Structure 1
């Protein structure tokens, strides 16, 4: 099979590539964008500030947060309103665990793609 692929892929340098996300209830909900949003919410303490850093509208960020919370079934983002500091947001321990697991999965996926690319050469 390897020799057949080399015969077929003779023009140019080819590589195996892909994107990785999780789906729940038939909906893509957890991948690079939502992970970055959660990390920035954790860093800034604010959905609004996280959205701004990503160049995303506040409305879009809220849609992502609501979808995450709904599909996972427990809050990944915890919001507080009012108070002396005007409220804010934090991510849950479950969100941190999900991010860690996803980052580990991405690393394994990256290594898989490298191994498959090496087979093309």
Structure 2
């Protein structure tokens, strides 16, 4: 049995060809966009540039059949962003997949094989 302080955390990345369509950072960005209703606010929360966040959103929107993030241009009402229905679904499925993998018995067995010095 693994030491109670030893924990393996899988970091899942879903690739579409050579492009990472979704991974832990992109999933967190999606969550923060939905929370803040803004790509720039989500970027600030992750301590990344707006440009980097926008490039990640663009990659995700390109990799999936339909855009995951919908944006509104600024103006009198201000801009904003939110997840599309597909974005919400993709994020939920990704989180379910993460949970399913982390509960696999193989992960517990791998953890039991870790050096006690880690």
TM-score (normalizing by structure 1)? 0.79
Q: 1:47 aligns with which of 39, 46, 55?
A: 39
The gaps in structure 2 that reach 5 residues or longer are: none
- Deviations along 1:54-110, one digit per CA (max 9) or x if unpaired, are 001000000000000111131111111134321211110111111111111111111
Runs of 4+ aligned residues of structure 1 deviating over 3 Å after TM superposition are 13-18
Alpha-carbon distance in 1 for matches of 2:83, 2:71: 9
1:45·1:89 contact (CA, 8 Å) conserved in 2?
yes
Residue in 2 aligned with 1:23? 15
Q: CA RMSD in A?
A: 2.1
2:33·2:41 contact (CA, 8 Å) conserved in 1?
yes
TM-score (normalizing by structure 2)? 0.81
Q: Does 1:104 align with 2:96?
A: yes
Name the SS for the 1:55 alignment partner.
coil
Q: Does 1:79 align with 2:71?
A: yes
